[in-house]
Amino acid sequence: MIHRQPASNGDTNAGRVTKGSRRPGHYGVDRTTVQNLEIVRADTERNLLLVRGAVPGGKNALLVVRQSVKTREGKK
């Protein structure tokens, strides 16, 4: 198995990576939005927010928390 190492890629005139091949790539810079999270508690002394739900990103990563703007289906 190739783990983020360059190797032969087959046809040199293809100008692209073949689908399904395990190649090194760009990972982890996309911004994702997760809705329906609930802020359980805010601890101002330790500068913490307790959030109920799955939060994307690694440990000690920055997180942007903002109010969601939703409309009901059928109403606008």
Q: Where are the domains of the chain?
A: 33-66
CB 50 within 8 A of CB 39: yes
Residue 24's pLDDT band, with cuts at 50, 70 and 90, is: low
What pLDDT is recorded for position 41?
95
Average pLDDT over residues 53-69: 85
Q: Which of 18, 62, 54 minimizes the C-alpha distance to 38?
A: 54
Q: Mean pLDDT over all residues of the chain?
A: 77
For the chain, state the CA radius of gyration.
21
**pTM score above 0.85:** no
What pLDDT is recorded for position 1?
54
Residue 50's pLDDT band, with cuts at 50, 70 and 90, is: very high
d(CA 74, CA 72): 6
Residue 52 has pLDDT above 90, yes or no: yes
What residues contact residue 66 under an 8 Å CB cut-off, 6+ apart? none
CA 37 to the chain's CA centroid: 15
